[in-house]
Amino acid sequence: MPPRSSLGAKDPEERRRRILAAAVEVLKEKGFAGARIADVAAAAGTSPALVVYHFKTLDAALAAAVGTVEDAFYDDLERLVPPRATALDRLRLIGELGSDTGPAVGNWALWMEVWVRALRDAQTRALRRALDARWRQTLREVIDAGIAEGTFTCADPQATAVRLAALMDGLAVQVSLHDPDVPEERMPGLWLEAAAAELGLPPEDVTGRARRRRTPRAATA
């Protein structure tokens, strides 16, 4: 990975942003196990001491980097919701953005790194719980809104949110591993069809107008 241009000492916010962006790239390239502070510093065009100054530890820098990827997804979601959007519009958008290959919920290559590390690391487990809680809450809010509108039928909204979140994760793993039975272009439709079944809708009502929205994102490793 070529080093970025050096940052001046008087650019603390820009330096922090660049360190986080560099940490995302290092994570995608080397994973949690292979990442080093020196790698992040070199990619950001700064020094290891300044990475430590901003984030104290490598784990803290990497956790913050994953958080920025998640934030990018939710920012996209809010930005792309059309005026007067219904719950069904939001559900379709979630299916499209969540199936994208960039920083969706989260960048899927990064998410797999988080899952593996969370098996043995308490700090990463806490990060995983927080990110999953945010994702499930986003789905739950859409489900509740659809029920209030009279569009969705759902006996247990929380259980449905958990199942749909887990399905998105599982499909993303298969897409990331290039499973021939789950090509990337099928992922939005598969997820939206399952959402329709969960919410008492004909599949065509959910998938009929679904379109892939490509936003400027770096593809996963």
- Segment 186-212 shows an average pLDDT of 85
CB 154 within 8 A of CB 160: yes
**pTM for this structure?**
0.81
Same domain as 185, residue 85: yes
Residue 47, class by beta-carbon neighbours within 10 Å (0-12 exposed, 13-18 middle, 19+ buried)? middle
- Segment 53-74 shows an average pLDDT of 88
pLDDT(105) > 70: no
- Segment 48-68 shows an average pLDDT of 90
| 139 Cα distance to chain centroid | 13
What is the residue-averaged pLDDT of the chain?
84
Give residue 104's pLDDT band: very low, low, confident or very high (50, 70, 90). very low
In a domain, 212, yes or no: no
State which residues form the domain around 195: 71-207
pLDDT(150) > 70: yes
pLDDT(210) > 70: no
pLDDT(102) > 90: no
Q: What pLDDT shows up at residue 11? A: 74
Give residue 196's pLDDT band: very low, low, confident or very high (50, 70, 90). very high
In a domain, 214, yes or no: no
Same domain as 46, residue 77: no
Calpha distance 107→150 (Å, rounded): 33
Same domain as 116, residue 32: no
pLDDT(214) > 50: no
Q: In this structure, what CATH number is given to the domain that contains residue 31?
A: 1.10.10.60
In a domain, 64, yes or no: no
In a domain, 63, yes or no: no
Q: What pLDDT shows up at residue 211? A: 46
CB 87 within 8 A of CB 146: yes
How many domains are contained in the chain? 2
In a domain, 130, yes or no: yes
